[in-house]
Structure 1
Amino acid sequence: MQCRFGDKSKFIPAFLLACFLLIPSLAMAGHGEAKPVKKGIMLAAFGSSMPETQPAFDAIDKAVKKAFPGVPVYWSYSSAIIRDVLAKEGKIVDSPVMAMTKMMDAGFTHVAVQSLHTIPGEEYFGIVETVEAFEGMPKGISKVTVGKPLLYSDEDMRRTVKAVVANIPKDRKAKDAVVLMGHGTHHFANIYYPASQDYFSKVDPKIFVGTVEGAPSLDEVKVLLKKSKAKKVFLMPFMSVAGDHARNDMAGDEDDSWKSELTKDGYKCVPVLKGTAEFPQVVDIWVDHLKVAFKHLDAH
């Protein structure tokens, strides 16, 4: 019997369609079923080697676990120097790379990473670049999102100013000045510090922001202090924890510490060794940023 071309043309598309439908089944059979969704959180801090700062990290850990019950939380420190110091003391803290590797090995498919840095500077963008490299690896993590650092939006700035003001020691009087020591950076994100000065000035004209390694400098703060006619100065870290910078560069007894320099200028200095992570209102900002990042894990 002679077959017509029209009969063959009906057969060929049907055969190809069957092949295409079969391919996913073959692939699935070869690699096993799709991994079930497993969500986790990774917290990335700069870190500190000082035991006095641990309560601040514990407070963040507690707040995150309360906001995300049942979701596993991993920690990492982005500072290699701090990790090395802790390792010599027998305390092992993962780097962001190691924490993400462990989460990938543990079968996590969706990970929300929260930066515990103050500004979106070099450390923050280093975290972003590191963790996003894990997204889409074969048999790895399907989705990675990163929560913004403390200061990012106008709302963040306003909430942070309100939180810091609320945590100034109660015995501070209106005529007393408050000097906040930020870390500072050569990264363009250093602009957040002079911007913070503007926000603080609108709320309290006797609060001044300086940095250890950026701008405004202590010399610039001194000019504003002189104009304020304050005689007493409360020194507070504008950092997540009261670590080495706060205890030595700000409140230390060395001649070049901020306390020593301002004392020589005739001010009575009162150091306050509490980082912003010890303020519940500040922790709430990081948690809110994490909530946004966690929600975005479901976005396609």
Structure 2
Amino acid sequence: MKQAILVVAFGSTVDSAREHNIDSVVEHIRKSYPDYTVELAFSSRIIVKRLRERGIEIPTEQGALEKLIQEGYTHVYVQPLHFTGGEEFDKLKNNILAHEGEGQLEVLRVGRPLVYYMGQEEHPDDYQILIDRFIKSLNISKDDGLLLLIRNGLTNVRIAVLENAPYVSDVAMPWEWLDGKRPKTIYVHPLLLVLGDHAQNDLFGDEEDSIVNELAGAGYEVKSIHSALEIVPVVFPMVLDDSTQEEGWQEAKRVILSYLDEAHICMYNRLIENTGHEIETIPGVTAFCAIGSHLGYPIVEKEEVLAIVPATAPKEKIDAVLAVADDAVIMKVYKNFDEVQETLIKHNMADDAVMISRVGLPDEQVFVGLDNIQKDTKLNYLSTILAKRKDR
């Protein structure tokens, strides 16, 4: 029986980041499983290509798996270095499992990200495990400061992602409502093994829609921590020894505590309740309803079909939804207005559409009719479109 562990990271072209933040993980797994062959692969084809041009050979996950199959391995366990599930993880998993039964393979398994299950049926609650073993040990009261952890999916940390839910606006902006208090300071820390240029720009860039500038524009004092995660044993889900994990959690506690002098942690209402905090939901008015009322624009009438879609969804999904909808609310249009405008024009919904940025605020902007707006128009993050089909 030949057994192998294939560790798959997205990858990095930065040598120091790759060696410190990825190779160190592989080496830890290699030491923890001396009876297994441990190999590394990158899922980013662009990074693999650029490294190859520099004479550095790191295979894709498919290339690495095919090599293991050719070498006669019977048991292969693939462990991604993803923190949460999502499109990238699903694509990776499908690529791997497509090789089931090939060669002499008897067992082919894909490990889950650090936090994946939420206690569904017989599955563990990875988020609760994270809280029980790490967050609770911080002993931070709910009256302390705030930490915002950002990744490329309790009492005082909120986690957001850059291009999926929960967005920063979903988890950061409502903080001022907790206990009727508004925090003065938000610490922004990447929840990433490798902090590349793309993430650096999205988080800390000079553009108006970077995370730090959005938070600063909302009135917070923002303190940026320009570093990827410090590697501690706690981040390795394949370490099963309780004493080793406990040492890792305690070391992680020491590292994170240095950032939490004034912090307040939060991650989903259900998990906050588990820490003994009382949760009160205050009914409010949704943004698009406020916009419709503010502009006197009927959102939906009679038997019309209303669609509510995020502009961050794939273009083909937005196209399919607008093909059957009479009315549409399109949110988060600040990044890809060009594609949204093109799709609205295609479905005869642009002429009478309205778009508003920062509704009700002093610098509110209103656009009526979206077919003639220049494609490179700079939009605020808080921009929403209301549209109606003209041919129905």
TM over 0.5: yes
Give the structure 2 partner of residue 294 of structure 1: none
Say whether 1:221 aligns with 2:171: yes
- Choose from 39, 60, 63 the match for 2:25: 60
Distance 1:270 1:286, change over 3 A: farther
Provide the secondary structure at the position in 1 that maps to 2:40.
strand
Say whether 1:180 aligns with 2:180: no
Give the structure 1 partner of residue 107 of structure 2: 143
Number of equivalences? 230
Tell whether the 8 Å contact from 2:148 to 2:172 is kept in structure 1 after alignment.
no
Tell whether the 8 Å contact from 2:161 to 2:167 is kept in structure 1 after alignment.
yes
* TM-score of the aligned structures, taking structure 1 as reference length: 0.66
Normalized per residue, the structure richer in helix is: 1
Gaps of 5+ in 1: 1-36, 184-192, 194-202, 289-300
The CA distance in 2 between the partners of 1:71 and 1:127, in whole Å, is 22
Provide the secondary structure at the position in 2 that maps to 1:134.
coil
Tell whether the 8 Å contact from 1:111 to 1:144 is kept in structure 2 after alignment.
yes
Q: Please give the per-residue CA displacement for 1:185-240, whole angstroms capped at 9, x wherever unaligned.
A: xxxxxxxx4xxxxxxxxx21x42222211223233334223334111111112334
Provide the secondary structure at the position in 1 that maps to 2:55.
coil
Shift of 1:99: 0.2
Tell whether the 8 Å contact from 1:60 to 1:277 is kept in structure 2 after alignment.
no
The CA distance in 1 between the partners of 2:135 and 2:61, in whole Å, is 32
Provide the secondary structure at the position in 1 that maps to 2:78.
strand
Provide the secondary structure at the position in 1 that maps to 2:166.
coil
The CA distance in 2 between the partners of 1:67 and 1:181, in whole Å, is 29
Tell whether the 8 Å contact from 1:163 to 1:279 is kept in structure 2 after alignment.
no
Tell whether the 8 Å contact from 2:75 to 2:107 is kept in structure 1 after alignment.
yes
Say whether 1:281 aligns with 2:234: yes
Q: Please give the per-residue CA displacement for 1:105-163, whole angstroms capped at 9, x wherever unaligned.
A: 222222111122122322223222222233322x4433212212211234421233467
Tell whether the 8 Å contact from 1:262 to 1:269 is kept in structure 2 after alignment.
yes
Gaps of 5+ in 2: 120-124, 241-392
Tell whether the 8 Å contact from 1:149 to 1:286 is kept in structure 2 after alignment.
no
Higher relative contact order (CA 8 A, sep 6+): 1
Shift of 1:95: 0.7
* TM-score of the aligned structures, taking structure 2 as reference length: 0.52
The CA distance in 1 between the partners of 2:134 and 2:14, in whole Å, is 22
The CA distance in 2 between the partners of 1:167 and 1:127, in whole Å, is 33
Tell whether the 8 Å contact from 1:77 to 1:96 is kept in structure 2 after alignment.
yes
Provide the secondary structure at the position in 1 that maps to 2:170.
helix
- Alpha carbon RMSD of aligned pairs, Å? 3.1
Say whether 1:232 aligns with 2:202: no
Tell whether the 8 Å contact from 1:208 to 1:224 is kept in structure 2 after alignment.
no
Distance 1:83 1:165, change over 3 A: farther
Identity percentage of aligned residues: 29
1:1-300 aligned within 5 A: 37-54=1-18, 55-137=20-102, 139-153=103-117, 154=119, 155-161=125-131, 165=135, 175-183=144-152, 193=153, 203-204=154-155, 206-227=156-177, 228-276=181-229, 278-283=231-236, 285-288=237-240
Provide the secondary structure at the position in 1 that maps to 2:215.
helix
